[in-house]
Amino acid sequence: MSSVPSDPRRLRVALVTAGGLLVVLIGTAVLTGSLTSFLEADVSGWLLGAMIVGASAGYLAVLLTLGEASAILTSIVLPTLGAVAAFLVVGGVLFGLGSGDPLRGPTFVLMQFSAPGVYVVAVLSALAAVVFRMGTPPHRDAGSRSVG
């Protein structure tokens, strides 16, 4: 497994889908209207932004480490798990920093499973992985293979 894609189209499509995931996650968070409806915790406004950026970075990192010939299920599930894990780790670490309570971060992470945010990240990153798996734009010719 190589961390650098051999096909420049693969890197380009991965960056586009990760950027699209970032934009859609930000749009979804804005549409929900409040942090408590997305995270269901007493948090400040900057934490959700950091968690969304972390989710997009986790998605991209896993996506780029997968081989070009990865199985369909692997190429969808692993980037989704990377996005969800990064979303939770960033939130848990940043929420627990400086509190003096060693359980504040892990408690925050466990609380996220009762909030819609983690599920929104999972669904949207799975959709982004499916789009990446489809490959290049729909107007590509039949002779060129997909990059996913």
Parent domain of 76: 8-134
Tokens of 112: 């996220």
d(CA 119, CA 24): 14
Residue 33 reports pLDDT greater than 80: no
Q: What is the pLDDT of residue 1?
A: 46
What are 65-118's pLDDT values in tens digits?
887 666 878 889 999 999 999 999 998 998 888 788 889 889 989 988 988 889
Up-side HSE of residue 44: CA atoms within 13 Å toward CB?
5
Residue 127 reports pLDDT greater than 70: yes
Q: Is residue 30 part of a domain?
A: yes
Residue 137 reports pLDDT greater than 70: no
Number of domains in the chain: 1
Q: Is residue 2 part of a domain?
A: no
Q: What is the pLDDT of residue 4?
A: 52
Q: Is residue 139 part of a domain?
A: no
Residue 11 reports pLDDT greater than 70: yes
Q: Among residues 106, 127, 129, 109, which one has the least CA distance to residue 118?
A: 109
Q: Is residue 88 part of a domain?
A: yes
Q: Is residue 76 part of a domain?
A: yes
Q: Is residue 115 part of a domain?
A: yes
d(CA 10, CA 148): 7
pLDDT band at residue 7, thresholds of 50, 70 and 90? low
The mean pLDDT value of the chain amounts to: 82
Q: Is residue 148 part of a domain?
A: no
